[in-house]
Amino acid sequence: MKSKKLVTRSILVGVVLLLLAIVALISKGTSKGGMPSGGGAGGPGMPGMESANEETIHSVKTKTLEAEVLQEYLTMNGNVQSNNTISVYPEIGGKIVKVYVTLGSNVKRGDLIAEIDPSTPGTYYEISPVYAPISGTITALPLTVGTSVNTSTALAQIGNISQLQIKANVPERDISVLENGLKADVSLVAYKNETFSAHVIRVSPIVDEVSRTKEIYLAFDSDDSRINAGMYSKIKLYTKAHENAIVIPYDAVLTQNGQSYVYVVKDDSTVSVRNVELGVNVDGNVEILSGLSLGEKVVVSGTQSLSEGAKIKEVQ
């Protein structure tokens, strides 16, 4: 019985010694990089661990700050109309019995435009003529024969189509920048690839209580036979110009805790956080009122992965 116990004990001791040897071998292999040498991801010496300790370099786009002009503008729609347009009203109410002009007719002051019959059932009155109060072109003729009118009903409009203007409405929130002389680019539906220069010649002194807008009138800088009264126009009205401004893309500005900041590039190709004060934003470009100086370089793309002191590489 003693011999069997000795054999069993010897076997157990051998197993324990074998396990200890295996553990020692594994420990020796992992001491070179966390995995047995010659096996596992990264290979011998784990070069991946070495690269993780290297400094990260971020690829970014930058902009060197120069003095620029940031031009504010308003956009609106308008209608081309003849200058000095006058509406024509009858002297007495009744029914239109005859119209002597058509849309586009040229008339002289005193020409007969239409006739009104003021008669009512059971009564008879003489026909009342309607004359042109000025010379010009018939630019509107909204009513037809048989229509009943009164003294406040406009029978026609007469204007000078040789001198065209544009009438537009500006929302009340924008009227503070309106003044005579403001320049504008006008595009017309009929000529999509062209723009026509114009300028403001009159600003209404009244804000409409219903539409909350103010009327403005613009004149074309030069005559063009292609432009006709009644055309629909789109207007880009240039208002305030910010001269010698520092301007950067709005996407280059980041915000944290209500404070706007950008990344400024230093001489050693690292970046530094700089708080800035923003001005107007026009078409994705924002004016910097304070915090930056001309000649400095800022990161304008690739900012999301940056932090104070990050190393960068500039790309086109």
**Quick check: 301 pLDDT over 80?**
yes
**Quick check: 248 pLDDT over 70?**
yes
pLDDT value of residue 149: 96
Phi-psi region of 14 (alpha: psi -120 to 50; beta: other; left: phi over 0): alpha
> Dihedral, CA atoms, 149, 151, 155, 160, nearest 10 degrees?
-170
Report residue 13's pLDDT band, with 50, 70 and 90 as the boundaries: low
The whole-number average pLDDT for the span 46-53 is: 41
Give the count of beta carbons closer than 10 Å to the beta carbon of residue 188: 19
Report residue 4's pLDDT band, with 50, 70 and 90 as the boundaries: low
Sign for the pseudo-dihedral over CA of 251, 256, 262, 263: negative
Report residue 58's pLDDT band, with 50, 70 and 90 as the boundaries: very high
**Quick check: 114 pLDDT over 90?**
yes
* SS3 call for 175: helix
Phi-psi region of 195 (alpha: psi -120 to 50; beta: other; left: phi over 0): beta
**Which residue, chain included where needed, has tokens 């902009």?**
63
The whole-number average pLDDT for the span 269-287 is: 97
pLDDT value of residue 316: 79
The whole-number average pLDDT for the span 137-161 is: 92
**Which segments within 118-231 are labelled E, that is strand?**
128-131, 136-140, 148-149, 156-171, 183-188, 191-207, 213-220
pLDDT value of residue 162: 82
Sign for the pseudo-dihedral over CA of 53, 54, 58, 63: positive
Q: Give the mean pLDDT of the chain.
A: 87
Q: Which of 24-33, 103-112, 234-243, 280-289 has the lowest mean pLDDT?
A: 24-33
pLDDT value of residue 161: 84
Of 84, 130, 85, 137, the C-alpha closest to 108 is 137
In angstroms, rounded to a whole number, what is the distance separating the alpha carbons of residues 195 and 169? 20
pLDDT value of residue 82: 86
In angstroms, rounded to a whole number, what is the distance separating the alpha carbons of residues 151 and 91? 6
Higher pLDDT, 224 or 184: 184
How many percent of the chain have pLDDT more than 90? 74
Phi-psi region of 239 (alpha: psi -120 to 50; beta: other; left: phi over 0): alpha
pLDDT value of residue 42: 37
**Tens-digit pLDDT profile for residues 199-236:** 999 999 999 999 999 999 999 999 898 999 889 999 99
pTM value is 0.68
213 and 172 Cβ atoms separated by less than 8 Å: yes
b/e string for 65-74 if b means 16 or more Cβ within 10 A?
Answer: beebebebbb
pLDDT value of residue 84: 81
In angstroms, rounded to a whole number, what is the distance separating the alpha carbons of residues 30 and 159? 96
Report residue 267's pLDDT band, with 50, 70 and 90 as the boundaries: very high
The structure tokens listed for 309 are: 């002191």
**Quick check: 18 pLDDT over 80?**
no
Report residue 146's pLDDT band, with 50, 70 and 90 as the boundaries: very high
